[in-house]
Amino acid sequence: MGEIQNIISIAFIGAGIFFIFVAGIGVLRLPDFYSRTHAVSKSDTLGVLLVVMGLIVFEGFTLNSLKLSFIFILVALSNPIGSHALGMAALKKGLKPVLGESKNKEEEESNVGS
């Protein structure tokens, strides 16, 4: 029983650290503020939830796992709400997003013309 618990816990924590690493790369490399909030709110939340789920599996049914499930619910609610609040504040202050030239529009027009 303990071996299976350890293996499931290691799998969850490894996957969570991978998603946290992806979120870090997204914060570093994405070109715009709004796309960076995308990286922080989704990928980072998934990584943290996977690591906390792995710790709950490792702990079993105790008082500590109840507190860890409180952290699970709190992070799942608070992290997207915080990122959304920051994005809304930036939109109200008039921060312009970076918009690239879309090549698809020309293709659509050529398709319509033909």
Partner 1 sequence: METFFLGAAILLTAIIWIPVYRVVKGPTIFDRLVGVNAIATKTIVLICLIGYVYGRIDMFIDITLAYAILGFVGSIAIAKYMTTDKGEF
Neighbours of 1 (CB within 10 A): 6
Q: Which residues of this protein are in contact with partner 1, per CB under 8 A?
A: 6, 10, 13, 16-17, 20-21, 23-25, 27-28, 33, 36-37, 40, 44-45, 47-48, 51-52, 55, 58-59, 63-64, 67-68, 70-71, 74-75, 78-79, 81-83, 85-86, 88-90, 92-93, 95
Contact by Cβ (8 Å): 84, 111: no
> Helices marked H in 1-114 — which ranges?
2-29, 33-38, 45-59, 63-92, 103-113
Report the candidate in 73, 79, 43, 35 with the shortest Cα–Cα distance to residue 56.
Answer: 73
CB of 60 to partner 1, least distance (A): 12
Q: Which is nearer to partner 1, 10 or 107 (CB)?
A: 10
Q: Which is nearer to partner 1, 7 or 106 (CB)?
A: 7
CB of 61 to partner 1, least distance (A): 15
Token pair 């008082």 is found at 63
